């Protein structure tokens, strides 16, 4: 690992994104999603499922207050929660002392405050900050004296706390709380929530670990692993790194904690359990993480774990752990990644399917999983700048992550299929998880706030830095400040990504400063040229692992011109992917394309691409800029055919070449699909 060049995300406050493409997304989140989400957290949106999140914090805070007032030892009511989601018997009149919603409902707040933090970092907003501070006061008021902070158990009874780490998300709540607290602290400098998060982390740090008598558990839904590293990086407290590493080391060891826990829980309830019911692979707990080489189980959990593994590998120099990350990354890329950057082939367990099983219509490809893949790959980049990681990160971000949100920021996809036929979604219960239009909000609302925190912090996926190097992984117009040993520079980028491959970089500096600027060469680029116009001669140029390193002394007026050719690419899947054999898909730059009924009529399966006319370099495809979706977008116009339906009824007839008529097939970016009402969509076309 020593040869690797570690880097850290550049602080959001040091970046100013002016990029047309991303600004639009960020403004959507700031103006639409964050305010809407706050209303949802407070159950004030009529046509959305209530979150119960702030209700639960209020109920827990009330309990804490009562305890303090009475000076008595706090005894929570008996454990009475039944079922997976608790709902009030009379939805109009919830009881103020009860817990409602899912066991992980606290995280609705944590994800919101994280997005708020990122937003405030780049766009101060006193009113929003005031709202956030008040919310933080309430959340902190709900915390127990010993640091515990999960309203589900605080309200329902602490006697059952820590008895079901596998399913009940206490550590998941810790993780999101820590991530939100760090973001808010870094944006505002206010540490109240950060201290609460630390106290909650300390609660676990005191009780979990290899020492005798301590709990040997780890998160059922991973996230605490990477969150603890953020807490470590924000506070410098070694115990958070140690706890993260413990969780990672302990996961999947024998005897399996989750199985032991299940038996203990059954015994506690007076039941006899013949065999454990849990699926350890679902939780990535089927074997120690360093022995894992296939991405399995719940896809979001998996990539959250891998992100934490990469963090810990970076922090501890653990080569075996990095190797496991590398194997898992390769496994995803070689066998389990949709061309949209999505992961998770099956809705059963929201999981990775078996190798090369990438169904298009029944894809799960959860928005959060693509976000998690960006988490993982950004962390791999932090260990080693290798464009393989950057390519996948970019692919996930520009396609499935953005597809998760409507272009007006008001509705969301949880599942991101690569092929949709509305009739099938309506009538085929096998596709009941696939929605042909985005939904307002979900009771289990992981994806919308996850998009919010990803989009508002996207600049941290664009830029990371080490002491002597500023890395550019993604191209977006804006400015980034970098302090080298000899002084500071401001690097300005002008780019029309993802529509154009030309990137202009200019330097502002009060005095000449030595340092390295590294730029990712995207894998989609057919060829690239780079021209550095430095005032001083002697700039060293090096290509390594898909990154262009320019080392020199930078001063005011220096410029770098990068030209990435951006051909239309007609791609085919590995023939092992049964679903896609005989089909092609189109990408251009980082954008994956799809055909929609709005442009091409229904029965998209009747379309066929004229591969010969498309040509080897996509030269037969016209790229047309249009404003159809409220911002400049490149559409592709592909030469092809449409099969003519026979007039005769009847299912089977002598095979004959299909009667076809020539047509052009209009493709739009995948992220923009389903913004024009109900209709068919398909990424893969017969070719």
- Interface residues with a copy of itself (CB under 8 A)? 330, 333-335, 337, 339, 346, 348-349, 353-354, 357-358, 362, 421, 423-424, 427-430, 569-578, 581-582, 584-585, 603, 605-606, 611, 616, 643, 645-646, 649-656, 658, 686-687
- Say how far apart CA 103 and CA 150 lie, in whole Å: 9
What is the closest distance, in whole angstroms, from the C-beta atom of residue 192 to a copy of itself in the complex? Answer: 46
- Say how far apart CA 477 and CA 23 lie, in whole Å: 9
Q: Which of 25, 225, 262, 350 is the catalytic position?
A: 350
Which two tokens mark 279? 């699926």
Secondary structure of residue 475 in the 3-state scheme:
coil
Taking the least distance from each CB to a copy of itself, the nearer of 210 and 582 is 582
- Say how far apart CA 100 and CA 89 lie, in whole Å: 10
What is the closest distance, in whole angstroms, from the C-beta atom of residue 519 to a copy of itself in the complex? Answer: 24
- Say how far apart CA 349 and CA 221 lie, in whole Å: 13
What is the closest distance, in whole angstroms, from the C-beta atom of residue 596 to a copy of itself in the complex? Answer: 17
The phi and psi torsions of 622 (rounded to 5 degrees) equal -85, 135
Taking the least distance from each CB to a copy of itself, the nearer of 70 and 427 is 427
Q: Which residue has the tokens 């990469």?
A: 310
What is the closest distance, in whole angstroms, from the C-beta atom of residue 488 to a copy of itself in the complex? Answer: 41
Taking the least distance from each CB to a copy of itself, the nearer of 124 and 582 is 582
- Say how far apart CA 547 and CA 524 lie, in whole Å: 14
Find residue 472's DSSP bridge partners. Answer: 463, 519
Question: Taking the CA of residue 65 as centre, how many other CA atoms within 13 Å lie in the half-sphere pointing to its CB?
Answer: 12
Taking the least distance from each CB to a copy of itself, the nearer of 72 and 654 is 654
Taking the least distance from each CB to a copy of itself, the nearer of 69 and 649 is 649
Does 446 qualify as catalytic in the annotation? yes
What is the closest distance, in whole angstroms, from the C-beta atom of residue 639 to a copy of itself in the complex? Answer: 14
What is the closest distance, in whole angstroms, from the C-beta atom of residue 616 to a copy of itself in the complex? Answer: 8
Q: Which of 446, 447, 534, 594 is the catalytic position?
A: 446
Taking the least distance from each CB to a copy of itself, the nearer of 581 and 622 is 581
Instruction: Tell me whether strands 513-520 and 469-472 are parallel, antiparallel or unpaired.
Output: parallel
Tell whether the torsion through CA atoms of 102, 104, 110 and 115 is positive or negative. Answer: negative
Q: Report DSSP letters for 82-127, one per residue.
A: -SSEE--SSTTS--TTS--EETTTHHHHHHHHHHHHHHHHHS--HH
- Say how far apart CA 193 and CA 359 lie, in whole Å: 43
Which two tokens mark 83? 């079922």
What is the closest distance, in whole angstroms, from the C-beta atom of residue 387 to a copy of itself in the complex? Answer: 14
- Say how far apart CA 404 and CA 416 lie, in whole Å: 7
How many Cβ atoms sit within 10 Å of the Cβ of residue 610?
Answer: 18
Does 350 qualify as catalytic in the annotation? yes
- Say how far apart CA 11 and CA 361 lie, in whole Å: 40
Spatial CA neighbour of 280 closest among 300, 304, 301, 252: 252
Decide: 683 and 604 in contact? Cβ < 8 Å. Answer: no
- Say how far apart CA 517 and CA 465 lie, in whole Å: 9
Q: How far is CA 484 from CA 233, 476, 481, 512, 519, in A?
A: 20, 22, 10, 11, 17
What is the SS3 string spanning 407-454?
A: CCCCCECCCCCCEECHHHHHHCHHHCCCCCCCECCCCCCCHHHHHHHH
What is the closest distance, in whole angstroms, from the C-beta atom of residue 261 to a copy of itself in the complex? Answer: 25
- Say how far apart CA 169 and CA 173 lie, in whole Å: 6
Q: How far is CA 675 from CA 426, 628, 669, in A?
A: 19, 10, 11
What is the closest distance, in whole angstroms, from the C-beta atom of residue 415 to a copy of itself in the complex? Answer: 14
Taking the least distance from each CB to a copy of itself, the nearer of 625 and 658 is 658
What is the closest distance, in whole angstroms, from the C-beta atom of residue 297 to a copy of itself in the complex? Answer: 12
Active site residues: 350, 446
């Amino acid at each position: 690992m020593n040869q690797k060049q570690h880097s850290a995300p550049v602080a959001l406050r040091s970046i100013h994104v002016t990029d047309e493409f991303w600004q639009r997304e960020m403004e959507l989140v700031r103006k639409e999603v964050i305010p809407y989400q706050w209303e949802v957290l407070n159950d004030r949106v009529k046509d959305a499922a209530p979150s119960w999140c702030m209700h639960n914090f209020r109920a827990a805070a009330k309990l804490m207050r009562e305890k303090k007032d009475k000076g008595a030892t706090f005894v929570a009511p008996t454990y009475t929660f039944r079922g997976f989601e608790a709902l009030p018997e009379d939805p109009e009149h919830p009881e103020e002392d009860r817990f409602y919603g899912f066991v992980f409902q606290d995280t609705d707040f944590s994800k919101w405050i994280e997005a708020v933090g990122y937003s405030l970092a780049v766009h101060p907003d006193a009113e929003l900050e005031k709202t956030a501070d008040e919310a933080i006061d309430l959340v902190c008021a709900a915390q127990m004296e010993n640091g515990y902070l999960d309203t589900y158990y605080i309200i329902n009874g602490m006697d059952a706390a820590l008895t079901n780490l596998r399913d009940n998300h206490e550590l998941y709540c810790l993780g999101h709380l820590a991530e939100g607290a760090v973001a808010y602290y870094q944006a505002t400098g206010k540490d109240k929530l950060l201290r609460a998060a630390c106290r909650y982390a300390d609660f676990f740090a005191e009780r979990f670990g290899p020492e005798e008598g301590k709990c040997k558990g780890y998160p059922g839904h991973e996230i605490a692993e990477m969150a603890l590293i953020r807490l470590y990086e924000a506070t410098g407290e070694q115990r958070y790194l140690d706890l993260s590493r413990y969780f990672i080391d302990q996961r999947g060891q024998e005897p399996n904690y989750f199985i032991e826990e299940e038996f203990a829980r059954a015994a506690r309830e007076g039941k006899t359990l013949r065999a454990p019911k849990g699926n350890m692979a679902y939780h990535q707990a089927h074997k120690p993480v360093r022995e894992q080489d296939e991405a399995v189980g719940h896809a979001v959990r998996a990539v959250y774990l891998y992100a934490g593994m990469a963090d810990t590998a970076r922090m501890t120099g653990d080569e075996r752990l990095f190797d496991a990350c590398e194997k898992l990354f390769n496994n995803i890329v070689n066998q389990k990644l949709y061309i949209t950057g999505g992961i998770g082939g099956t809705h059963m367990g929201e999981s990775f399917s078996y190798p090369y099983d990438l169904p298009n219509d029944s894809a799960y490809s959860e928005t959060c999983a693509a976000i998690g893949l960006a988490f993982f790959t950004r962390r791999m980049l932090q260990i080693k700048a290798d464009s393989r990681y950057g390519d996948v990160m970019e692919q996930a971000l520009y396609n499935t992550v953005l597809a998760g949100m409507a272009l007006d920021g008001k509705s969301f996809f949880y599942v991101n299929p690569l092929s949709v036929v509305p009739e099938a979604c309506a009538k085929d219960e096998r596709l009941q998880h696939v929605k042909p239009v985005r939904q307002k909000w979900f009771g289990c609302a992981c994806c919308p706030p996850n998009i919010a925190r990803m989009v508002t912090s996207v600049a941290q996926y664009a830029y990371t830095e080490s002491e002597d190097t500023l890395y550019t992984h993604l191209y977006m117009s804006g400015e980034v400040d970098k302090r080298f040993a000899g002084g500071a520079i401001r690097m300005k980028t002008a780019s029309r990504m993802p529509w154009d491959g030309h990137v202009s970089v200019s330097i502002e500096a009060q005095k000449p400063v030595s340092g390295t600027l590294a730029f990712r060469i995207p894998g989609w680029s057919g060829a690239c040229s780079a021209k550095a116009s430095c005032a001083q001669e002697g700039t060293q140029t090096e290509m390594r692992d898909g990154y262009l390193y320019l080392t020199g002394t930078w001063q005011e007026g220096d410029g770098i011109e990068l030209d990435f050719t951006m051909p239309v690419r007609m791609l085919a899947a590995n023939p092992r992917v049964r679903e896609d054999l005989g089909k092609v898909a189109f990408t251009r730059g980082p954008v994956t394309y799809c055909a929609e009924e709005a442009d091409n009529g229904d029965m998209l399966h009747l379309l066929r691409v004229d591969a010969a006319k498309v040509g080897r370099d996509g030269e037969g495809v016209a790229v047309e800029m249009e404003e159809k979706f409220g911002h400049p977008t490149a559409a592709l116009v592909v030469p092809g055919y449409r099969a003519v339906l026979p007039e005769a009824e009847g299912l089977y007839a002598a095979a004959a070449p299909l009667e076809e008529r020539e047509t052009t097939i209009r493709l739009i970016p995948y992220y923009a699909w389903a913004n024009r009402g109900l209709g068919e969509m398909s990424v893969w076309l017969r070719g």
